[in-house]
Amino acid sequence: MRYVKKRFSLIKCKKCQFFDISHVFIENDKYLTFDRDQMLSYVDNSIHLTGPGIKMCEPVFQKVAREVMDTI
């Protein structure tokens, strides 16, 4: 996370907005990269979201999209 924060600090765009989706994958204070019950992976290569991972993030993506549309 340290390197991610450093890269984001280098971006000087005033129009860019970053959002965190990590809370979607937290269960009992643990960061899960897969569904234990269905044995589905949420991430591929430890950074790219799979279909099931994207499905979990849809509410966050919809909220961000609504915020963007409200500012136009």
What ranges do the domains of the chain cover? 14-71
Q: What is the pLDDT of residue 2?
A: 79
Backbone angles phi and psi of 3, in degrees to 5: -70, -35
Q: Judging by beta carbons within 10 Å of its beta carbon (0-12, 13-18, 19+), is residue 34 exposed, middle or buried?
A: middle
- Which position has the higher pLDDT, 36 or 4? 36
Q: How many CB atoms lie within 10 A of CB 58?
A: 10
Q: How far apart are CA 56 and CA 44, in angstroms?
A: 15
pLDDT tens, residue by residue, 18-69: 888 889 999 899 988 899 899 999 998 867 999 999 999 999 999 999 988 9
Q: How far is CA 65 from the centre of its chain?
A: 14
Q: How far apart are CA 14 and CA 34, in angstroms?
A: 35
